[in-house]
Amino acid sequence: MAIAPAAIAATDPQPITPVVQESKGPKPPTPPTLPTPPAVCATLSGQLSTELQTAATALAATPTPDVAAAQTAVAAAQVTVAQLRAAGCLPAAPPTPPTCAALALQLQAQLHVLTAALAALPPVPANITAALNAVLATAAQLSTTCA
pLDDT digits (tens, 9 = 90+) for 23-73: 455 555 554 445 567 788 889 989 998 999 998 898 888 888 888 898 999
pTM beyond cutoff 0.95: no
pLDDT digits (tens, 9 = 90+) for 80-128: 988 988 888 875 555 456 788 888 889 999 999 999 999 999 989 999 9
> Alpha carbon 120 to chain centroid distance?
22
Plot region of 88 (φ>0 → left; ψ -120 to 50 → alpha; else → beta) = left
Helix (H) or strand (E) holding 101, with range, is: helix 98-119
Peptide bond before residue 63 is cis, with ω within 30 degrees of 0: yes
Contact (CB, 8 A) for 104 and 65? no
Torsion of CA 147, 138, 57, 125, to 10 degrees: 170
